Structure 1
Amino acid sequence: MSIIPVIVSGGAGSRLWPLSREAHPKPFIVLPDGDTLIGKTYARARALAGVENIITVTNRELLFLTADAYAATGAMPVSNTFLLESVGRDTAAAVALAVVHAVESGNADAVLLAMPADHLVLDEEAFGRAVQRAASLAATGRIVTFGIVPERAETGFGYIEVDGESVRRFVEKPDAETAASYVESGRFLWNSGMFCFAAHTMLEAMEAHCPDILASAREGYRRGRRNDSHDRITVEVDPATFGTAPAISIDYAVMEKLEDAACVPTACGWSDVGSWAAIAELVEPDAEGNRVIGETLLEATSDSFVYSEDRLVGLVGVSDLLIIDTPDALLVAHKQNAQKVKAVFNRLRDQNHEAAKLHRTAHRPWGTYTVLEEGPRFKIKRIEVKPGARLSLQAHHHRSEHWVVVSGTAKVVNGDKEIMLTTNQSTYIPCGHKHRLENPGVMKLVMIEVQSGDYLGEDDIIRFDDVYGRS
């Protein structure tokens, strides 16, 4: 039986701020074991029996970050297709894109497995067995969801009431008393947000229950820009047509309207890793119940979680705290309020604050840059360029730049000149000059960039040529 995993990667992971940002969201957070959620999801999909193709639906700006995360897994290669949204329209539209792609590619009978990119599964053998059961049900024409056998009365998840392998109803996140009654009854499972179906079955269900979403996805796909390369297929979905799709979940659009939805129960060590309390559970506690990542000094402290990237954090005489320290933002919260971190993120986003969008280290297709210091009329960055990579040919209206090579070799276009720079050499780029940076070597290129000018925002850029299609 042919199974095509569909990895759906969207959302900002607002409850995991300040580590999760819009440009570096939850799936890319490095977990205590050194892996990322999206990397684990990809490896889990690749390990399923018979998988030869994987579809990923994600934001266009996250394509290269996603491809790097996949490559880092070391999983055996498969055929990868990326369906790239310019604007997120929730899971119903994302699933519709994957279904349209499968049908248009001649795979209408294939079984698709829709998987969020930011969930954790600890027991992959149990997950694999559940997938095989779901696929067999999907082959009979049913749309299948996965219900997680509850470990506790949880108010942060939706529930599915089941009768055997048939869905009786979907219910919203309950209060504590209702959640306890659900678990005690034995009839309710956590809603995992994973689904399995034949492409043609979901197509017919969407035509019946959400034809507007399907139509927007179909036109967005057909009018999109397709590129076939040696290692991937990408389809940049047309934003004008796809953007008309209502932004609702697949649960609301389809699942709750079905009369014969199926559910496969599974106990596979599943977690949506939806808060800092959930991240803390991945770390072994000390004798006082504290869990720490990074250099931490604790005195008379208990049941607290500390994450620190690059500096010492000291706690004295406190308990039940979440301390998340990043180079440009610090979060302090009581563990009972872990779910309320989203409110802080939303306020920053509403204020158009940079801390909601970017880390001081930002990832780009060619490498990374880190803002070391900034002030009125200046900004200092550390730039790392991958071997063989190059930035776009570009210019700026409001700033000049000075580049100093720390290590490696830089090939630089500066106006009408092309020069090679090595360690301790530099070049000055006046405001308005066309310029490009390239790493022609086999080692990482590291540079310091000093910007000066009236406006130093990242949107002050004109691209004339770009190998990553951003011009």
Structure 2
Amino acid sequence: MPSISVVPVVLSGGSGSRLWPLSRDQHPKQLLALAGADSLLQATLRRVAELPGLGVARPLVVCGEAYRFVIAEQLRQIGCEGQIVLEPVGRNTAPAMAVAAHAAGSEGDDPLMLVMPADHMIPDAAAFGRAVAAAAPLAMAGAMVTFGVAPTTPETGYGYIQRGPAFALAADGTTVWSIARFLEKPDEETAERLVREGECLWNAGLFMVRASVWLQALRHCRPDIATAVATTWEARRTDSDFVRLPMAAFAACPSDSIDYAVMERLVAGGARDPALPHGVVVPLAAGWSDVGAWNSVWQCLPKDEAGNAVQGDVVLRDARNTLVMAERRLVACCGVDDLVVVETADAVLVVHKDRAQEVKQIVEQLRREGRAAATAHRKIHRPWGWYDSVDAGARFQVKRILVKPGAALSLQMHHHRAEHWIVVKGTAQVTCDDRQFLLTENESTFIPLGKIHRLENPGRFDLEMIEVQSGSYLGEDDIVRFDDVYGRVPAAAPLMR
């Protein structure tokens, strides 16, 4: 039996705006399948399902309210029974890790936490497992362990860890280094020097530490954060599959990252504070990438003999070192080099790989202009399924709707629109005022303006239908909700079906 048990902690925040148009505020990059069938979140959880020589406890996912149902569904798809803790507002990674430490230790023990972002790629799971196994005994002994990647290029978008003297020799012969200092996102000249000198590693943003050690270090370095999180955790409540934190208490918590709040203070001034744990770095050689921009995605994907990486319906002619991702339509490229082309239902991005970081500025411009494509896809995921806005015009809108087996939309009404429902697959149970009836394939009904109604799927297969809305206002906030099985608050904005 393994002597050390590890709680995988997955921090699933952030929007990944540099991966627009696939990644958007309402469906960020950790929920995307960028390489294979699994999303980055699912791949992270699969990677830690088994670790060599270690026992793996139930994983813990810390995420925002907006993603809770999609994340719960993605966990269900891979058979993962994880605990999901909801942050009512983002407060960066240090408070999130403190929440995880309270959750992991809530049964009175002092577990070892493996803290990971949900949005990284690590293709070599075996090498990752070996690095974690090398780190575990050190973390159990009270060290604060981080993981470092040998740099291959002078990246300016990564943080760096400068190695200090050797701290220990792991059981597999791996040298574990003390940390001399952290360097946050250097300029190009500094990055080139760091790579040339060979004494620095990329900061992979992965941590291994006992829950009590992290909380003690946080209380010493940032007592304001530690106190605010402790107060918040005491007032938590459990709702269905989620642990919820109170808005007011958590919103009062200062925002800071793990590195700034604690890790950099482990080596501040070159002399370690004896009240703090040892900070050490374990080498990680597993193909790690934070996939922070489209050029990083290109680097991670398999390529043809000309250096092209493609997904979807793509035709290339005389193209080199190009990434093309087609979601809905055929994309053809001819005579292009070093481009990124990403096609979705409502947007197309074309950018040179060398300028992939500038996609964030495009998203910022779209937000200033109030463009919906900055924040949401045309296809919107909901706890009961999804809807896709396929067409719209003056006073009308057409949607494809899928309702999962056993799922139901809220009991609701609209002040400004009527709806026509046409079932194309499955069976629908319809409530319209005091009437309740079934619709099967090729049948339809009309929901007049102002009528209280609900759509349900009583069957064992997906319900697919077409909805045609007509009226003077068709926004999603024209919903008065009377009952909802998912516990969504009627006053929330934007209101959801």
Q: Give the TM-score, by structure 2 length.
A: 0.90
- 1:221–1:235 Cα contact (<8 Å) kept: no
- 2:423–2:439 Cα contact (<8 Å) kept: yes
Question: RMSD value over aligned CA atoms?
Answer: 1.6
Q: 2:251 aligns with which of 228, 243, 247?
A: 243
In the aligned structure 2, how far is the partner of 1:137 from the partner of 1:98? 20
Task: Give yes or no for the alignment of 1:368 onto 2:386.
Answer: yes
Identity of aligned pairs, percent?
Answer: 49
Map of 1:255 onto structure 2: 263
Q: Which amino acid aligns with 2:258?
A: I
In the aligned structure 1, how far is the partner of 2:236 from the partner of 2:414? 30
Q: Which amino acid aligns with 1:32?
A: A
**Secondary structure at the residue paired with 1:469?**
coil
Query: 1:374-413 maps to which residues of 2 (within 5 A)?
Result: 374-413=392-431
Query: 1:309-324 maps to which residues of 2 (within 5 A)?
Result: 309-324=327-342
How many Å apart are 1:340 and its aligned residue? 1.1
Q: 2:227 aligns with which of 181, 197, 215?
A: 215
Q: Which amino acid aligns with 2:91?
A: R
Deviates more, 1:5-14 or 1:391-400: 391-400
**Secondary structure at the residue paired with 2:328?**
coil
Task: Give yes or no for the alignment of 1:178 onto 2:181.
Answer: no
Map of 1:417 onto structure 2: 435
Map of 1:6 onto structure 2: 9
Query: 1:73-88 maps to which residues of 2 (within 5 A)?
Result: 73-74=78-79, 77-78=80-81, 80-88=82-90
Map of 1:100 onto structure 2: 102
Q: 2:33 aligns with which of 23, 30, 34?
A: 30
Q: Which amino acid aligns with 1:15?
A: R
Cα 1:8–1:375 shift into 2, 3 Å: same
Q: C-alpha offsets along residues 312-344 of structure 1, whole Å, 9 cap, x if unaligned? A: 223233322111111101111111001111111
How many Å apart are 1:383 and its aligned residue? 0.3
Q: Which amino acid aligns with 2:306?
A: E
In the aligned structure 2, how far is the partner of 1:177 from the partner of 1:404? 61
In the aligned structure 2, how far is the partner of 1:65 from the partner of 1:312? 28
- 1:40–1:73 Cα contact (<8 Å) kept: no
Number of residues of Structure 1 aligned to a counterpart in Structure 2: 463
**Secondary structure at the residue paired with 2:218?**
helix
How many Å apart are 1:137 and its aligned residue? 1.3
In the aligned structure 1, how far is the partner of 2:442 from the partner of 2:42? 37
**Secondary structure at the residue paired with 1:57?**
strand
Q: Which amino acid aligns with 1:250?
A: I
The list of structure 1 runs, each at least 4 consecutive aligned residues, that deviate by more than 6 angstroms after superposition, is none
Cα 1:176–1:13 shift into 2, 3 Å: same
How many Å apart are 1:397 and its aligned residue? 2.4
Cα 1:132–1:216 shift into 2, 3 Å: same
In the aligned structure 2, how far is the partner of 1:153 from the partner of 1:97? 34
Q: Which amino acid aligns with 2:37?
A: G
In the aligned structure 1, how far is the partner of 2:389 from the partner of 2:322? 30
Cα 1:24–1:184 shift into 2, 3 Å: same
Map of 2:47 onto structure 1: 44
Query: 1:55-66 maps to which residues of 2 (within 5 A)?
Result: 55-66=60-71
- 1:216–1:243 Cα contact (<8 Å) kept: no
Map of 1:69 onto structure 2: 74
Q: Unmatched 5+ residue regions in structure 1? A: none
- 2:412–2:480 Cα contact (<8 Å) kept: yes
In the aligned structure 2, how far is the partner of 1:43 from the partner of 1:274? 21
In the aligned structure 1, how far is the partner of 2:366 from the partner of 2:42? 28
**Secondary structure at the residue paired with 2:405?**
coil
In the aligned structure 2, how far is the partner of 1:365 from the partner of 1:34? 21
Q: Unmatched 5+ residue regions in structure 2? A: 167-176, 267-271, 273-277, 490-497
